[in-house]
Structure 1
Amino acid sequence: MAKSKGIIKIEGTVEDLTFYKHEGEYYVRKKGGIDKNRIANDPNFVRTRENNNEFGTSGHSGKILRNALGTMVFKAKDSRLSSRMLKVMSVVKRYDTTSARGQRNVANGIATPEGKQALRGFDFNGRAELGSVLYAPFELDTATGVITLADVLPAEQILFPQGATHVSFQGAVLALDFETEESSVAYSNVVNLPLNMTLNNITLTPTSVPTGTGQQFFLLMLSFYQEVNAVQYSLKNEEYNVLNILEIV
């Protein structure tokens, strides 16, 4: 793989060269690889077909989770979210000990303690991880979905981006079945605070606690804003926002 430094930027295929853009940079690589028909039918590639099948189902499971959370993900994600989630979903899939090789899936893997642990603590925005932004203790009641934070000093216990004047807290409970793809999500109230030295008690109560045949995901989001003339604006397309999976049951 080579980086393109020419004046004219190309995306696409020209003869046996493929030009593409990745994270703002232009790259070029030579076309190649094994014919896909051979991979699909040759007995020598049975393991490759198995791996490809599990790779595809893991990627689809990540998409199911992202879509189920809706606008929360749109407000707190990075450019590598899909690939990072594919990686962790592939780990979750490995804990499926009941399916044949090539058929292992996230639906079975997430049902195990090890599968839940692999996804627990996942940050949808890799540039703003919960553990590096929020330094205040919190409690989660999985029976009610309520998240509480006591005596929070925003200016001291939150690592906020330059220019931010306010922060909002919001929780969510998601019931998701990766096998049937059925989901239901309930959001909490939003608590918006100025980033100052005033002590605050925060209680985030979801409108309900969705249940289903799959798992329950408990999430916390922090959003940063800058106030100008009494109006709050999101900072730089919300790239500093935090969205974290606190717990899975």
Structure 2
Amino acid sequence: MARQDSIIKFKGQMGGISFYKSAQDGHLARQKGGVDAKRIQTDPAFARTRENGSEFGRAGSNGKLLRTAFRSQLLNTGDSRMANRLSALLNAVLKTDQVSLRGQRNVANGDLNLLRGFDFNDEGKLTHTFFAPYAADVDRVTGTVTIDVPAFVPTDMIAYPDGATHFRLVAAAAEVDFAENAYNVQALETDELVLGALPAAPVNLALTMSPGNTDPLFVVLGIEFAQLVNGQMYTLNNGAYNALSLVAIEPGA
């Protein structure tokens, strides 16, 4: 793969070279080649290739399902490569499946704890923005998920963007059935809290999930910022500060 540096940018194919545009990397060119697709689909020599392709595709689909479950929380968060980063990590999780055959390995049987601490916004990590201590607790029997944050001084414990006057904490939990491509999600957020030098009151975010559910459960915690102008609150979509992270994971039974 090579980058197009000429003034005139090409698209299409010419002389065995494919010219195209990538949203992340701009105008690129690469040599056309590779093995015929039909041969890859049928030739026994490419059995491993088919298995790897099947599993990689499954990881991508699982990543899309997880992103869809937390779509509301991702509207103001997430970097341009987040989907690819999540798919790659889920592919690593899938490869830890010690039960299924090659080509049939799946995320649910893998080590989902590899996802713990995943930041949906790589440019605004939760650990770089929110420094107050918190505890995330999951009770699968009762279906209760709680995130507790003791009282803290916002200006001491939060890195915030210029112009921000308020912030809110957001939390969500999702029970995800990867086999059925289904999920159940519950979410909560605080009111807008003042970014000031006075201590903020303790925060308790309690989510009610399905009692006794055995699907993998994912819990996210995030922070978003707002600006108060003439009595109107405006959300700040600042990619360097808005954060959302997977803070707790309970593998399925």
* TM-score normalized by the length of structure 2: 0.88
- Which residue does the alignment assign to 2:67? 66
**SS where residue 179 of structure 1 aligns?**
coil
- Residue 13 of structure 1 is matched in structure 2 by 12
| Structure 1: 4+ residue segments shifted above 6 A | none
What does residue 182 of structure 1 align with? Answer: 182
CA distance in 2: counterparts of 1:160 and 1:215, whole angstroms? 33
Report the CA distance between 1:213 and its aligned residue: 3.4
State the match for 2:104 in structure 1: 103
Q: Distance in 1 between matches of 2:25 and 2:230?
A: 34
**Secondary structure of the residue that 1:145 maps to in structure 2?**
strand
What's the offset of the Cα at 1:242? 0.9
Task: Check the 8 A contact 2:63/2:87 in 1, yes or no.
Answer: yes
1:140-151 equivalent positions in 2, closer than 5 A: 140-143=136-139, 144-151=144-151
Q: Distance in 2 between matches of 1:139 and 1:191?
A: 19
Partner of 1:112: none
Question: Per-residue deviation at 1:220?
Answer: 0.7
Partner of 1:201: 201
User: 8 Å contact 2:77–2:243 — kept in the other structure?
Assistant: yes
Give 1:171 deviation, angstroms.
1.2
The more displaced of 17-26 and 159-168 is 17-26
- Show structure 2 runs of 5+ residues with no match: none
CA contact (8 A) 2:79 2:239 kept: no
Change (3 A) 1:184 1:9: same
Aligned to 1:240: 241
Residue 228 of structure 1 deviates from its aligned partner by 2.0
Structure 1 residues 141, 189: CA separation in 2 closer, same or farther (over 3 Å shift)? same
TM-score by length of 1: 0.90
Opposite residue 101 of structure 1, the aligned amino acid is R
Structure 1 alignment gaps of length 5 or more: 110-114
Deviations 1:191-229 (A, max 9, x none): 321211110123243452235331121111211122222
CA distance in 1, matches of 2:163, 2:24: 25
The answer to which structure has the higher helix fraction is 1
Q: CA deviation at 1:237?
A: 6.1
Counterparts of 1:116 and 1:100, CA distance in 2: 18
CA change 1:31–1:156 in 2 (3 A) is same
- CA distance, structure 1, for counterparts of residue 210 and residue 221 of structure 2: 16
On the 8 A contact 2:19/2:27 being kept in 1, the answer is no
Rounded to whole Å, the distance in 1 between the matches of 2:104 and 2:115 is 20
CA contact (8 A) 1:189 1:206 kept: no
Q: CA RMSD for the aligned pairs?
A: 1.9
Per-residue Cα deviation, 1:63-99 (whole angstroms, up to 9, x for no partner): 1111112211222111001110011101110121111
Deviation at 1:239, TM superposition (A): 5.8
Q: Between 76-85 and 14-23, report the one with greater CA deviation.
A: 14-23
Residue 133 of structure 1, CA deviation: 1.1
Question: Matched residue of 2:218: which SS?
Answer: strand
Question: Within 2, Cα distance between the matches of 1:237 and 1:140?
Answer: 26
Tell me if the contact between 2:225 and 2:242 (Cα under 8 Å) persists in the aligned partners. Answer: yes
The 5 Å alignment of 1:1-249 reads 1-10=1-10, 12-15=11-14, 16-23=17-24, 25-109=26-110, 115-143=111-139, 144-211=144-211, 212-236=213-237, 240-249=241-250
Contact 1:77 1:239 in 2 (8 A): no
* In structure 1, C-alpha distance between the alignment counterparts of 2:166 and 2:25, rounded to whole Å: 30
Q: In structure 2, what residue type is equivalent to 1:99?
A: S
Assess if the C-alpha contact under 8 Å between 2:168 and 2:189 holds in 1.
no
SS of the residue aligned with 1:210? coil
Aligned amino acid, residue 86 of structure 1? S
Mapped partners of 2:130, 2:79: distance in 1:
18
